Structure 1
């Protein structure tokens, strides 16, 4: 796994640390994990795909280019990159908090930082 910067969660998460956490890696990728299971799956994606995820969430869409989003039994929500790989499993409440943060622009700096570093080169 690529080394990550500090993990960030949405300000809409409830008390405690349990929520979807997001971080950028030293290599410019974006990592997502369910903090209730910090040793569990870490989904790593490109900045471009993460930008498309944020745009789809802002549009209120469950169809997210580059990702497979599914709702399981009870309140389970699963996110993984299209084509396979790590699956981040969370609750509906935690997913909704992540979505609210995405809509509010709380994760935009992760893709803006990546875009700026690409332009500088």
Structure 2
């Protein structure tokens, strides 16, 4: 897998990273003490991107990603269907990720999934 971080995250810094496989999007944070990798669908990731960009998006009826604060500086990203698997980060790293999302740096993960869905005989993962 090829991991990508936001360009707003400094070189050599721990950051939120995203990678994709044909059917899934993976999210991790390099300094997460649990070394968790959160795996979700392109549909759920697309909803996260739309939310972070303050864009309207249709309800997916799928599990969703949630961000919760556990203390003044610690944030945990998890899905509703696997709440015990969470990526741990902090506000500065999350903010760098959000800036990258708003700049469109992670859109290609969703676009690639849409392209895969166009293959003959495939059931679309992302519905317009």
TM-score norm. by structure 1 comes to 0.85
Report if aligned partners of 2:68, 2:75 keep a CA contact under 8 Å in 1.
Answer: yes
SS at match of 1:73: coil
The Cα of 1:38 is off from its aligned counterpart by 8.2
Runs of 4+ in 1 over 2 A off after TM superposition: none
Listed as ranges, the gaps of 5+ residues in structure 2 are 56-62, 121-128
Instruction: Provide closer, same or farther for how the CA distance between residues 38 and 8 of structure 1 changes in structure 2, counting only shifts above 3 A.
Output: farther
Count of aligned pairs between the two proteins: 112
| CA displacement 1:12-60 (0-9 Å, x = unmatched) | 00231400000002x3200000112487110000001000000000018
Of 20, 23, 31, the match for 2:26: 31
Hey, what does 2:52 align to over in structure 1? Answer: 57
SS at match of 2:50: helix
Hey, what does 1:101 align to over in structure 2? Answer: 100
The root-mean-square deviation of aligned C-alpha atoms, in Å, is: 1.8
Matched, 1:15 2:4: no
The Cα of 1:91 is off from its aligned counterpart by 0.7
Larger radius of gyration: 2
User: Which has the larger displacement, 90-99 or 9-18?
Assistant: 9-18
TM-score norm. by structure 2 comes to 0.80
